[in-house]
Structure 1
Amino acid sequence: MTQIVTIRRARPDDAPFAVPLIQETIGHIGLVLTGAATDAEAEGVMTEFFARPGNRLSFQNVWIAQRSGEALGLLLGYAGADSGALDEPFREHLRGRNLPSDFLSEGLPGEWYLDTLAVTEAARGHGVGARLLQEAAAQASANGLERVGLLVEHGNRAARLYEREGFSVEGKRTLSGHVYDHMIRPAQNTAQ
């Protein structure tokens, strides 16, 4: 009998699980946001931000997928219209280090922006990502938004999961020198 994957809101003490998984997933973007030269340095900065409210990587914007109390993956997201305000603490951090702070915010108005979807290696291929995408749709609906949006680097295998879950490419966006497909789906998925 397969145990059910449940979703819960993250807490500040989830940082040791969440932060490395976020950085592993967002890579270059994490370095840009934090002004770090290495993943380890980025994780240190992200750990501080994770515990604080009011920024894009705050625990307040994270949901944890778990089975029998074991964390399996996470979803990080927020209303796209809030992207600029949620990025401002990172811009302030970069200005304080005399680093460029002119990066583009990712989310767009009118969508619930799925910033990061990450599943542990051991849990991949077992429906955890699909369950987290269902939670993203539920959050969009709960926030009065009719669609979920995300960015995925062209060629990323995760795009197949997104397509199976009803996402389609709406356009391309370039962030920090990398090209991403902007994918959207209705909050109420009609593809299933």
Structure 2
Amino acid sequence: MTPVSRLNTVRLKEVLALIDAQNQQDPNQEQADGQTWPKEYLYGLRMTEQQAEFVPDASELLQIACRAQHIKRWSIARASYPMDRAGYQRWRKDLGAFHGDLTAELMAKVGYNEAEQADIKDLLLKKQLKRNPEVQALEDVICLVFMRYYLADFATRHTQEKLIGIIQKTWGKMSLEGQAAALQLKLSEEVSELVGKALA
């Protein structure tokens, strides 16, 4: 990846607004904080909130990647792929490419150059996870958001055995700093117990 550019708050605000405008079109709704939200718009806000806590000095590109992690995710349905592991992996790969291409298009509209657009694609495809600090930071934020906001819902829909496996896989993707931050999350008693079993 190219060297991280200096923070340009004007174009950053512009591209985040463009990402939000895409995600506000989500037909899927979620309840939170006493109101109804477009699902992926809420997810993007949660990603930014978690990023600000975990990586307060994040680069411009990392901030964009966090907000765009699920941009228009509903456009490529999981059900359109075979319902097996290979189908799931292909769906995730295609989603990453789609998110990267769309985000790069929005970045181009507000003045980001081709190198920066290429870098956002690499970030959203999680290239060089565990080796590239920016990619690892993005993955840590994703895992923290999952554990903080979505793991409890998973717990209502899956067996304990499967949940323990999911938590262990999530844990394995995180850096030591990410794992330390995860242990500080305020989780429900049920979820905390599951995490404890998974890490035992």
Q: Give the TM-score, by structure 2 length.
A: 0.36
The structure with the largest strand share of the pair is 1
- Structure with higher Rg: it is 2
Q: Give the TM-score, by structure 1 length.
A: 0.37
